Chains A and B, each alone.
Chain A
């Protein structure tokens, strides 16, 4: 700005002296910027002096603004591994298992370092950083104040040591000290938040087990954590609460929230009644907790909903302003309210709109959950998905509710169930708006999301587009499972692009799915089924030989595949089709060693290909050794088509006799 005005000023100074002659005596001594300022100030004033001057508001930039702008210029490279793994190309993951392992090991390394630092703070006192960086210094996790005082209690509360805090409180009471209301409330908050158990520290090794559990169950770990702890009868929270001389609404609130969090729903409502009897009013968080508990305390759909409405009315009476979480809780409760949910959920949305509360992704997630409960009832409800997508299109969402992250996988599930490709594209576009990708959830949610979208694409989209997406998504974002690869193979089959199979096979090997018998067999059967051009057959044969070596030797630590009859037949057929008679002949011998019986059609196929009479006789011998039914037929054909020596003839006639005897 300054530079530009300077130029303008310079220009004016040089060329427009006549115009500004009356300024001249003033201007000469000024620098050029000054001239510009004068000119600029004067010009608009002459024209629009009536207009009030609008002082622009100061623009405050966040400290990451520049970095964000820079980051926005970087596009994802679909050929590169995730950024996390770029430091060490040796550790570039190729399978989902490796991805999980490497990312978790990185995290656990960070955690281990933190653990060492925090447990040995005395070795890490030197502060090199200028200015000071607090997060690099050891955190105090040990208690410092030993004597019995309220300060000690507060310290235990801030360090989240539930048991120690309760002990301290008891000691204080025994010593006859009165604890201030704030401290008591904090203590109750602490106990109720952690359900009267010491919280699992972040830097403890337990998290490893949690990750295991999460992998096994396939559910986010928070749910597992909550189930573990239950609200016990007369636990410390209730005990301390009962000891309180005067119970304020914050204490009640803490108790109710704790009860709801740890599954004592009935009790929470009783406590709420107590609270009303004490002429206290609840805050919005308490109501949110109670609303989320309604589905547990009532059996019938109508009763559940009536209770929710009742709570909302009480909120209104008590002049409590509902927030987004209130309505999300209502919508979540409605998911369990059966048939009346559909109408009421829309009314709830309208209510949100009337109150000026913008729904978050979690609201839409619940809404979709209400309207698309099961596969068959999703018929005829696609409009809701459309409307939701219209509503959210192009908007940037910030995380406001822990359930926000389930929206994308839910939406794409519905698209998959209704086979709605258009909507799927819209969902995916929404994901690319702004920071919305952050709301895709953890890696488990992400793999579900991408798995579903890839499944849908394979099903509905033309193969060229599918392959484009394939290159885009795999393997930088998504490591498909066996089913995903099967879908892809079927899509290739549908659009007659089987010639892509060798390429896909490379990916399959890279992603470690080459030990999945069903996938490999499906691929072989696709390759063996039809006739193709010689080049394609050639590439198929290479691929088949690759598969054969895999069957024979296995692969490192992985188990070698068990030969199945179809796999062997298919490989042999592919090799025959590619004119690789020798390898095919080897395969035929392999049947014998693996105790498998080739099909008659395969033998026929061989007979067509064979040029050498000796081989033909051998083939008949093999066929006879398997006791195939059409051996006699084969003998006839060999006798007709090949020029045979006497010896060979005798062998054949012998075989014919034996087969007749067998029959």
Chain B
């Protein structure tokens, strides 16, 4: 199984290398093919493959240019050894025996690097570690045996040799064993390339305080497992019986070496189950297809891509810390993936309340509200794209008379006034005017004219009536002196302003007219005059 995996990884890597070199030269037309692959890749769903191997594929893309520089790697290894101390010398020897093959060498060195890191952190003695490693390899072999049943006993034997000269194919189980151990202990995929690129950072950090990375790593591991437990619980019943008793025993043996026995054991078992799940997924899926589909083929090497360290530990975008994006979290996401964004469980802090709330929102807006509204509006301000949009903008600013959307356009100050205020004006005659008589009659005509006038506001109509009220009040003496018989109403007196140019001819009581404001008229011989009104102003013309 793992060998197959390795083969596919190698193939992938070759292809990645291929595409990479193509990228780096100017695009030739050959690039089309890789481009197509890339396109495919993006449409395919990423999953099902062991995260570690996928991570390898990913990493290969970017570490390739550095791959063949063996010297550099040796240097790096030295550095790693320095950091670990002399206890790991034997381990390094083991690595160097395998160093002949450059491909595997990269893998192995990565693993060793990782391992050394882990060991450094948890500070275990080397022999302990070796023991550990053996146990774990045994465990892994068991897995391999159980599930794949592909390896010959001889191969298994060579695997258990561990640090002996390893045949090319057999390096893979070692690797996976180490990797398993590594993931169990630290779950920190810090590899060689990482160290190379963040050398200065690392040194700085270790000089600051050697204890810190450890705590960090442990912390993140634990939190991760806590997270994982949610998922694991779901799959536990099916997974538990799938693990053979042999495996469990081996795991507990391995765990007994660790300080916190119970915890380590449970974690080991969890890990095993995970392995199994991954194995299942791989068995089902089309490995190479998935790998290829996961490859990202860029046509032009991006400067930013290069600048970023090609490893899982990265700075946050806000530069405040690390994001530990490692395989298990990705798997976790896979487990938690949901159909829609909103179907997950919620924070459950607030209780939805549906009561109408109109209590305090009616308060006058504070400066903060105004400022916020300004900010929002400004953020979404766009230049008008055509003349109509410009007119909309002007309308909003109040510079443009609004386009009529109904019959009440332009009635800003009248919009709140109901129509009956305009039409039923008799109530204004209640006080200040006589109950009956010619003045009353006259005023009724005035009011009916006003009622039909669409151009006056209500206030203007009131003012008009008030003017007559004042006028008649002033002329009260004149009226009394002239002994006008108020009871006698003139017939068909006047049609009042409002009808615009209405020309009315009427017989007028001359005396009454004399006391009216337009008293400069001269009555005709017949006493019949033509009176024409324009909105309250009177022009009289003599009838022929």
**Interface on A for B, CB 8 Å cutoff?**
61-68, 70-71, 74, 76, 82-84, 103, 131, 133-136, 157, 186, 189-190, 193, 222, 254, 257, 285, 295, 301-302, 309, 312-313, 315-316, 321-322, 335-336, 338-340, 342-344, 346-351, 353-356, 367, 369, 373-377, 379-384, 387-388, 390-391, 399-402, 404-405, 418-422, 437-441, 459-460, 490, 493-494, 496
A136-B399, A490-B27, A493-B27 are contacts. A68–B392 as well, Cβ < 8 Å? yes
B224 CB → nearest A CB, Å: 8
Once the chains are docked, how many angstroms separate the CA of A302 from the CA of B321? 13
Closest to B351 in A: A316
Q: Which residues from B are CB-within-8-Å of A422?
A: 43
Of A84, A295, A356, A405, which contacts B379 at CB under 8 A? A405
A373 near B367 with CB under 8 A, answer: no
A76 near B341 with CB under 8 A, answer: no
- A-contacting residues, B313-356, CB 8 Å: 314-318, 320-325, 329-330, 333-334, 336-338, 340-353
A380 near B47 with CB under 8 A, answer: yes
A380 near B35 with CB under 8 A, answer: no
In the complex, B481 has a CB within 8 A of chain A: no
A290 CB → nearest B CB, Å: 14
Once the chains are docked, how many angstroms separate the CA of A186 from the CA of B396? 28
Closest to A77 in B: B386
A67 near B395 with CB under 8 A, answer: yes
Give me 4 other A-B pairs in contact (C-beta within 8 A), A459-B300, A490-B26 excluded: A74-B387, A347-B345, A374-B317, A382-B46
Stretch at the interface among B302-310, B421-429, B509-517, B518-526: B302-310
A354-B352, A387-B340 are contacts. A419–B296 as well, Cβ < 8 Å? yes
A316-B350, A346-B344 are contacts. A67–B333 as well, Cβ < 8 Å? no
B347 near A312 with CB under 8 A, answer: yes
Once the chains are docked, how many angstroms separate the CA of A377 from the CA of B45? 15
Q: Which residues from B are CB-within-8-Å of A441?
A: 379
Once the chains are docked, how many angstroms separate the CA of A405 from the CA of B375? 12
Closest to B38 in A: A419
Could you pull out 7 A-B pairs where Cβ atoms are within 8 angstroms?
Answer: A67-B403, A74-B386, A193-B368, A315-B349, A336-B320, A367-B341, A377-B323
Once the chains are docked, how many angstroms separate the CA of A635 from the CA of B300? 43
A67 near B318 with CB under 8 A, answer: no
Once the chains are docked, how many angstroms separate the CA of A295 from the CA of B319? 13
Of B322, B349, B405, which contacts A338 at CB under 8 A? B322
A76-B385, A83-B385 are contacts. A67–B412 as well, Cβ < 8 Å? no
In the complex, B196 has a CB within 8 A of chain A: no
A301 near B321 with CB under 8 A, answer: yes
A373 near B379 with CB under 8 A, answer: no
Interface string of B114-136 (1 = CB under 8 A from A): 00000000000000000000000
- A-contacting residues, B260-299, CB 8 Å: 294, 296, 298-299
Interface size, chain B (Cβ < 8 Å): 95
Q: Which residues from B are CB-within-8-Å of A348?
A: 346-347
A83-B386, A343-B227 are contacts. A439–B314 as well, Cβ < 8 Å? no
In the complex, B402 has a CB within 8 A of chain A: yes
A193-B368, A374-B317 are contacts. A494–B29 as well, Cβ < 8 Å? yes
Q: Which residues from A are CB-within-8-Å of B245?
A: none
Q: Which residues from A are CB-within-8-Å of B348?
A: 351
Q: Pick the most buried of A157, A349, A439: most chain B CB atoms within 10 A of its CB.
A: A349
In the complex, B109 has a CB within 8 A of chain A: no
Of A190, A350, A374, which contacts B344 at CB under 8 A? A350
Q: Which residues from A are CB-within-8-Å of B398?
A: 133-135
A231 CB → nearest B CB, Å: 16
A83-B390, A84-B383, A309-B347 are contacts. A381–B333 as well, Cβ < 8 Å? yes
A419 near B39 with CB under 8 A, answer: yes
A379 CB → nearest B CB, Å: 6
Once the chains are docked, how many angstroms separate the CA of A375 from the CA of B62? 12
In the complex, B358 has a CB within 8 A of chain A: no
Closest to B377 in A: A399
In the complex, B42 has a CB within 8 A of chain A: yes
In the complex, B31 has a CB within 8 A of chain A: yes
B368 near A189 with CB under 8 A, answer: yes
A40 CB → nearest B CB, Å: 23
A339 near B350 with CB under 8 A, answer: no
B380 near A399 with CB under 8 A, answer: yes
Closest to B227 in A: A343
Q: Which residues from A are CB-within-8-Å of B430?
A: none
A402 near B379 with CB under 8 A, answer: yes
B310 CB → nearest A CB, Å: 7
Of B31, B45, B308, B340, which contacts A494 at CB under 8 A? B31
A193-B371, A285-B368, A339-B220 are contacts. A379–B388 as well, Cβ < 8 Å? no
Once the chains are docked, how many angstroms separate the CA of A76 from the CA of B329? 46
B412 near A438 with CB under 8 A, answer: no
Q: Which residues from B are CB-within-8-Å of A302?
A: 223
Q: Which residues from B are CB-within-8-Å of A404?
A: 376, 379-380
Q: Which residues from A are CB-within-8-Å of B344?
A: 346-347, 349-350
In the complex, B208 has a CB within 8 A of chain A: no
A496 near B29 with CB under 8 A, answer: yes
- A-contacting residues, B393-429, CB 8 Å: 395-399, 402-406, 410, 412
Q: Which residues from A are CB-within-8-Å of B333?
A: 342, 380-381
Once the chains are docked, how many angstroms separate the CA of A356 from the CA of B338? 20
B491 CB → nearest A CB, Å: 30
B385 near A373 with CB under 8 A, answer: no
B68 CB → nearest A CB, Å: 23
A347-B344, A350-B342 are contacts. A71–B46 as well, Cβ < 8 Å? no
In the complex, B32 has a CB within 8 A of chain A: yes
Q: Which residues from A are CB-within-8-Å of B103?
A: none
- A-contacting residues, B437-465, CB 8 Å: none
Once the chains are docked, how many angstroms separate the CA of A340 from the CA of B201? 24
A460 CB → nearest B CB, Å: 6
Q: Which residues from B are CB-within-8-Å of A342?
A: 329, 333
Of B220, B343, B403, B406, which contacts A350 at CB under 8 A? B343
Q: Pick the most buried of B29, B294, B338, B392: most chain A CB atoms within 10 A of its CB.
A: B392
Once the chains are docked, how many angstroms separate the CA of A79 from the CA of B471? 70
Once the chains are docked, how many angstroms separate the CA of A131 from the CA of B220? 69
B352 near A355 with CB under 8 A, answer: yes
A565 CB → nearest B CB, Å: 18
In the complex, B207 has a CB within 8 A of chain A: no
B353 near A321 with CB under 8 A, answer: yes
The 8 closest A-B pairs by CB, nearest first: A350-B346, A71-B388, A399-B380, A380-B46, A63-B402, A61-B405, A351-B346, A351-B347
In the complex, B58 has a CB within 8 A of chain A: yes
A67-B403, A380-B47 are contacts. A321–B357 as well, Cβ < 8 Å? yes
In the complex, B391 has a CB within 8 A of chain A: yes
Q: Which residues from B are CB-within-8-Å of A440?
A: 382
Q: Which residues from A are CB-within-8-Å of B434?
A: none
A67 near B392 with CB under 8 A, answer: yes
Once the chains are docked, how many angstroms separate the CA of A136 from the CA of B398? 9
A339-B223, A387-B340 are contacts. A64–B350 as well, Cβ < 8 Å? no
Closest to B324 in A: A339
Of A135, A257, A295, which contacts B397 at CB under 8 A? A135
Q: Which residues from A are CB-within-8-Å of B27?
A: 490, 493-494
Once the chains are docked, how many angstroms separate the CA of A656 from the CA of B479? 137
Q: Which residues from A are CB-within-8-Å of B308?
A: 374-376
Q: Which residues from A are CB-within-8-Å of B474?
A: none
A377 near B342 with CB under 8 A, answer: no
A71-B389, A312-B349, A374-B314 are contacts. A103–B383 as well, Cβ < 8 Å? yes
Of A135, A338, A384, A418, which contacts B399 at CB under 8 A? A135
A82 near B403 with CB under 8 A, answer: no
Once the chains are docked, how many angstroms separate the CA of A375 from the CA of B294? 14
Q: Pick the most buried of B39, B377, B403: most chain A CB atoms within 10 A of its CB.
A: B403
Q: Which residues from B are CB-within-8-Å of A254?
A: 368
In the complex, B384 has a CB within 8 A of chain A: yes
B368 CB → nearest A CB, Å: 6
In the complex, B366 has a CB within 8 A of chain A: yes
Once the chains are docked, how many angstroms separate the CA of A419 from the CA of B386? 34
